[in-house]
Amino acid sequence: GAVVSQHPSWVICKSGTSVKIECRSLDFQATTMFWYRQFPKQSLMLMATSNEGSKATYEQGVEKDKFLINHASLTLSTLTVTSAHPEDSSFYICSAAGLAGVPSYEQYFGPGTRLTVT
């Protein structure tokens, strides 16, 4: 149980376009979803925390107008990278929390989406 999927697994787009990444919890209702970004040889950095039905909370330094997060249901959160630029190329990973009786730091990670902006 506790499977999280992401789509797409990889994407290449041109500079200036927008890219949407989906994160789904397949067998549980995720009250909270987290979005991380990982650059090569660096650690995962939390970008934002989203709770179903409310606005996402962004970490310091993450532009909320550039990285649009929507968490409209208990099984789906989306991250849209707007007007992507080459410096946005990274590995984007989501995680989900919310299993009954399980603390929210016990998160289930999606397989990640590798974004390359040309």
In the three-class reduction of DSSP (H, G, I as helix; E, B as strand; rest coil), residue 111 is classed as: coil
Kindly tell me which of 26 and 83 has the beta carbon lying closer to another protein: 26
Return the bridge partners of 70, or none.
78
Contact assessment for residue 43 and residue 95, using Cβ atoms and an 8 Å cutoff: no
Contact assessment for residue 94 and residue 35, using Cβ atoms and an 8 Å cutoff: yes
Which residues lie near another protein (CB under 8 A)?
32, 34, 36, 41-46, 49, 91, 93, 97, 103-107, 109-112, 114
Kindly tell me which of 45 and 76 has the beta carbon lying closer to another protein: 45
Question: Is omega for the bond preceding 40 within 30 degrees of 0, making it cis?
Answer: no
Nearest distance from C-beta of residue 16 to another protein, angstroms: 26
For residues 84 and 99, give the distance between their C-alpha atoms in angstroms, rounded to a whole number. Answer: 34
Nearest distance from C-beta of residue 118 to another protein, angstroms: 19
Nearest distance from C-beta of residue 49 to another protein, angstroms: 7
Kindly tell me which of 10 and 118 has the beta carbon lying closer to another protein: 10
